[in-house]
Every structure is written in C-alpha cells, then in structure tokens.
Amino acid sequence: MKPLFFALALALSLPWTAWALDKEPYSPERFAALQAENRLVLVDIFATWCPTCAKQAEVLKAYRAQHPEVALHILEVDFDQDKEAVKRFRAPRQSTLLLYRGEEQLWFSVAETGQEAIFAAINQGAKTP
C-alpha cells in the first residue's frame, strides 16, 4: 500500500501545468473551451502508422520534460479516424501541427520534426499574452 500512496502523493504534488501538457483526444467542445480561456493549444494531427508523427511525439515529450512551466494543452486528432477535424484544420496530411493561443492560430506546420523549430514555435506562443 505504501508505494501506491507514494505515487499518489507525488502525482498530487506536481504543478498543475504538468497536467496541462498531457495529450488528450481532440473534441470540438474541448478545443472551444480552451480557446475561450485563451489557453495555448497544440493540435497534433497524427496517424499511428506514421514515422514522422512518432518523431514529433518524441520532440513534444522532450519539450514537456524541458519546459514544465509552460501550460501547453496538446489535443490529438487521429488522421484516419477523425476526418471531420482533419477537414476543419485543413490538414493536408498526418504529421500536421497547429498552435493556437485562444482563437488565434500562431503556427502551422506539416512534417516538422526539428526540435529547435518546434520548441521555438511553442516558446513564442507561450510568450503571447
């Protein structure tokens, strides 16, 4: 029982921004709610079979580890399953990343896997009031 208690205590002691950085499935309602709160949102249009998407996931994980103070919400859109969202975001293919602050689109990228470029875009968005 002690390991479970320790794990729970550790999880509850994490800053709230750590929770914001976890990926969650996209829904129009969740996206609208985050926009209404002027949150920083990365829409990640991915496919499970896509090696470029896997590389992007590694970069986003590294970003989360190196920048725990940034309240970034990552909403995942499954390219194969959610064609409505793919169409809404005008994603030409999987591995499309879109960054929003509130209703403003700050960045749009297709197949970008460079850590420096992805980090720079998110950091610039985090500075936007």
pLDDT category at 22 given cuts 50, 70, 90 is: confident
Q: Domain extents for the chain?
A: 16-127
Strand partners, 40: 72, 101
pTM over 0.85: no
8 has a pLDDT exceeding 60? no
Give the mean pLDDT of 60-88: 97
Q: Which CATH number fits domain 16-127: 3.40.50.620, 3.90.180.10, 3.40.30.10, 3.40.250.10?
A: 3.40.30.10
CA 43 to each of CA 1, 7, 113: distance values in angstroms, whole numbers, following the listed order: 38, 30, 15
Q: Are 23 and 73 in contact (CB under 8 A)?
A: no
Tell me the percentage of the chain whose pLDDT exceeds 90.
Answer: 81
Q: How far apart are CA 129 and CA 125, in angstroms?
A: 9
Least confident stretch, 16-25, 55-64, 85-94: 16-25
The residue assigned the tokens 């609208």 is 32
